[in-house]
Amino acid sequence: MTMGSLGDVALKLQDGPFGSNLKSSHYTDEGVRVVRLQNIGSGFFDDSDQAFISPAHFAKLQKHECSAGDVLVATLGDPILRAAIQPKSLPVTLNKADCIQLRCDPDRAVAGYVTHYLNSGVAQSHASALAHGQTRKRVNLSQLRRLPIPLPPIEEQRRIAAVLDAADALRAKRRQAIAKLDTLTQAIFIDMFSRNGWDSWPSQPVESVANPGKGAIRTGPFGSQLLHEEFVDDGVAVLGIDNAVQNRFAWGKRRFITEKKYAQLSRFTVSPGDVLVTIMGTCGRVAVVPNDIPRSINTKHLCCVTVNKEVCLPEWLWACLRFHPAVLDQLGATHGAVMPGLNMGKIKQAEIPVPPLNDQRRFAERMAATVYHQEVSDRSRVQVETLFASLQQRAFRGEL
Q: Are residues 326 and 250 in the same domain?
A: yes
Q: Are residues 285 and 372 in the same domain?
A: no
Give the separation between CA 272 and CA 184, rounded to whole angstroms: 24
- Nearest C-alpha neighbor of 90 from the set 43, 131, 52, 120: 52
| Average confidence (pLDDT) over 389-396 | 87
- Structure confidence at residue 95 (pLDDT): 53
Note whether 299 and 278 are within 8 A (CB): no
Give the separation between CA 295 and CA 271, rounded to whole angstroms: 8
Q: Are residues 46 and 120 in the same domain?
A: yes
DSSP labels for 91-155?
-EES-TTTEEEEEE-TTT--HHHHHHHHTSHHHHHHHHHH-B-SSS-B--HHHHHT-EEE---HH
The least confident of 43-52, 113-122, 280-289, 385-394 is: 43-52
Q: Can you give the CATH number for the domain in which 225 is found?
A: 3.90.220.20
| Average confidence (pLDDT) over 127-154 | 84
Q: Are residues 32 and 115 in the same domain?
A: yes
| % of the chain exceeding 70 in pLDDT | 94
364-385 burial, b at 16+ Cβ within 10 Å, e below that, comes to: bebbeebbeebeebbeebeebe
pLDDT at 51 over 60: yes
Kindly list the strands in the beta sheet with 52-53, ordered across the sheet, starting from the edge strand earlier in the chain: 27-28, 52-53, 32-35, 92-93
- Structure confidence at residue 127 (pLDDT): 86
- How does strand 275-278 pair with strand 286-288? antiparallel
Give the separation between CA 85 and CA 42, rounded to whole angstroms: 10
More confident site: 311 or 182: 311
Q: Are residues 283 and 263 in the same domain?
A: yes
- Outline where DSSP puts E strands in the chain: 3-5, 10-15, 27-28, 32-35, 52-53, 71-74, 82-85, 92-93, 99-104, 148-150, 203-205, 217-219, 236-239, 256-257, 269-270, 275-278, 286-288, 296-298, 302-305, 351-353
| Average confidence (pLDDT) over 18-47 | 78
Give the separation between CA 381 and CA 82, rounded to whole angstroms: 18
The pLDDT confidence band at residue 336, using thresholds 50, 70 and 90, is low
The pLDDT confidence band at residue 314, using thresholds 50, 70 and 90, is very high
Q: Are residues 23 and 55 in the same domain?
A: yes
- Structure confidence at residue 196 (pLDDT): 67
Q: Are residues 187 and 316 in the same domain?
A: no
Q: Are residues 12 and 145 in the same domain?
A: yes
Q: Are residues 267 and 162 in the same domain?
A: no
| Average confidence (pLDDT) over 313-330 | 93
State which of 116, 150, 184 marks the end of a domain: 150
Q: Are residues 334 and 240 in the same domain?
A: yes
- Nearest C-alpha neighbor of 113 from the set 157, 51, 47: 157
State which of 89, 124, 150 marks the end of a domain: 150
- Nearest C-alpha neighbor of 278 from the set 302, 298, 299, 243: 302
pLDDT tens digit string along 80-107?
A: 888 999 887 666 655 555 788 899 999 9
The pLDDT confidence band at residue 239, using thresholds 50, 70 and 90, is very high
Most confident option among 42-46, 152-156, 172-176:
152-156
The pLDDT confidence band at residue 228, using thresholds 50, 70 and 90, is confident
pLDDT at 310 over 90: yes
Number of domains observed in the structure of the chain:
3
- Structure confidence at residue 313 (pLDDT): 96
Q: Are residues 121 and 178 in the same domain?
A: no
Alpha-carbon distances, residue 113 vs 125, 140, 211, 391 (angstroms): 17, 21, 53, 13
Q: What is the dihedral sign for C-alpha 185, 189, 192, 194?
A: negative
Q: Can you give the CATH number for the domain in which 190 is found?
A: 1.10.287.1120
Q: Can you give the CATH number for the domain in which 90 is found?
A: 3.90.220.10
Q: Are residues 348 and 289 in the same domain?
A: yes
The pLDDT confidence band at residue 300, using thresholds 50, 70 and 90, is very high
The least confident of 67-76, 143-152, 174-183, 325-334 is: 174-183
pTM exceeding the 0.75 threshold for the entire prediction: no
- Structure confidence at residue 317 (pLDDT): 96
Q: 232's torsion region: left (phi>0), alpha (psi -120 to 50) or beta? A: beta
- Structure confidence at residue 111 (pLDDT): 95
Query: Domain range for residue 179?
Result: 152-200+356-400
